[in-house]
Structure 1
Amino acid sequence: MKPDDQDSRMTMDVAGYADMREFKRELRAAFAVAVAETFGDVPAEKIPSDEDIEESLRAPGAIVYHILSGGRKVGGAVICIDETTQKNSLDLFYVSKSEQGRGIGYKAWRAIETLHPQTRVWETCTPCFEKRNIHFYVNKCGFKIVEYFNRNNPDPHAPGEREPPGEWEFFRFEKAMRP
């Protein structure tokens, strides 16, 4: 697939079941950067948990993408498409640790939007400590913060206490694409 005219080298490829072990490893390595900066040394196999990843992979309408640059894997995404409402979600999104800071995330996000033009609203969440993600979603991609999950307003979809130590707080974002 060639979703973005601005960068013909950036492509998205649907990942297969056989790719999931590597996908999870790369996802965790990318997430571990901010977690380690904030919480110190936390075992990478915990962030995100197998349960969280599997829930995203098995969600109705889930599509797992490899992000490719020049045919080389540089990241991945899990999105969920609701064909009825077209309120779609970006459940997991990462750029490989060695590729971060090169504009790949923005190009990949634009590719996802291009591949799913029927979307009315995109939704995603990120932990409050992930300042780089917050900047990316709000200032680069045009999302708006619409909810703040915390002890007094828990995420109704999240199970109990999360690891690493301490309570995690999340922002929920939305991006309106069309009425």
Structure 2
Amino acid sequence: MNKHLENKVQLMPADEKDLPLFKKELQESFTKGLIENLGDAEEGPIPSDEDIEQSFNAPGAVIYHISLNGEKVGGVVLRIDTETHRNSVDLLFISSKSHSRGVGTLAWKAIEEYYPDTEVWELVTPYFEKRNIHFYVNKCGFHIVEFYNQFNPDPHQSSENKHQDNISSLEEYEFFRFEKVMKK
């Protein structure tokens, strides 16, 4: 356990009434990361309200607050498939005030413990998010298995976004896909 943390990180199910604040905090966290990496944020919240709602309402979606000593310090939206045991992380955030304290790593360990039947975890993160890439590869044991870009589009991305002519717009859709194999 990280020396800076004396207490336990826990997952707490989010209630329907919690979702507007959850969404706001998630967007603040993601927008801050975008500004830190690219120096600018697009118009509108990142991720969009539509993208977050889609994650909230996806089949198998479960939404948790991440808490430290009972204080909410982040959140996660998971997609759990009880038949295939291939689960995914749709959205995960830790508030900036809790960065570099080991909270994310402990939260990931809690997720793994909560879903011990998972055979493979999967997630996607933007190419420029070095902090995320470091976290998932070096702290959580994920491997980059695919790079989505204009030549290899994400099959889950809408066709409207796949056919954009503007290169800078296409860069917005460059992501790494990660996997972590839990059981063989």
Instruction: Output the TM-score relative to the length of structure 1.
Output: 0.90
- Cα–Cα, structure 1 residues 72 and 33, in superposed 2: closer, same or farther, change >3 Å? same
Question: Which residue number corresponds to residue 128 of structure 2?
Answer: 129
Residue pair 2:142, 2:178 contacting (<8 A) in 1 also: yes
Distance, in Å, in 1 between the alignment partners of 2:88 and 2:161 is 23
Residue pair 1:29, 1:97 contacting (<8 A) in 2 also: no
Question: 1:28, CA displacement in angstroms?
Answer: 0.9
1:161 aligns with 2:161: yes
3-state SS, counterpart of residue 161 of structure 2: coil
Residue pair 1:124, 1:172 contacting (<8 A) in 2 also: yes
Distance, in Å, in 2 between the alignment partners of 1:116 and 1:28 is 26
Distance, in Å, in 1 between the alignment partners of 2:38 and 2:140 is 27
Question: Which residue number corresponds to residue 170 of structure 1?
Answer: 175
Question: Which residue number corresponds to residue 165 of structure 2?
Answer: none
Q: Percent identity?
A: 51
1:152 aligns with 2:151: yes
Dislocated runs of 4+, deviation >6 Å: none
Residue by residue over 1:52-101, the C-alpha shift from the partner in whole angstroms, topping out at 9 and shown as x without a partner, is 10111011110000001000000000001001000000100000122112
Structure 1, gaps ≥5 residues long: 1-5
Residue by residue over 1:16-46, the C-alpha shift from the partner in whole angstroms, topping out at 9 and shown as x without a partner, is 1100111011101111122112333325742
Question: Which residue number corresponds to residue 104 of structure 2?
Answer: 105
Residue pair 1:146, 1:171 contacting (<8 A) in 2 also: yes
Question: Which residue number corresponds to residue 36 of structure 1?
Answer: 35
Q: Which moved more, 1:103-112 or 1:28-37?
A: 28-37
Question: 1:158, CA displacement in angstroms?
Answer: 1.2
Distance, in Å, in 1 between the alignment partners of 2:49 and 2:179 is 25
3-state SS, counterpart of residue 119 of structure 1: coil
Q: CA RMSD in A?
A: 1.7
Query: Following superposition of structure 1 onto structure 2, how do residues 40-55 of structure 1 map, counting pairs within 5 Å?
Result: 40-42=39-41, 45-55=44-54
Residue pair 1:125, 1:171 contacting (<8 A) in 2 also: yes
3-state SS, counterpart of residue 156 of structure 1: coil
Letter in 1 for 2:53: E
Question: Which residue number corresponds to residue 3 of structure 1?
Answer: none
3-state SS, counterpart of residue 64 of structure 1: strand
Residue by residue over 1:137-161, the C-alpha shift from the partner in whole angstroms, topping out at 9 and shown as x without a partner, is 0111000101100000000111233
3-state SS, counterpart of residue 46 of structure 1: coil
3-state SS, counterpart of residue 161 of structure 1: helix
Structure 2, gaps ≥5 residues long: 163-167
Residue pair 2:31, 2:45 contacting (<8 A) in 1 also: no
3-state SS, counterpart of residue 83 of structure 2: coil
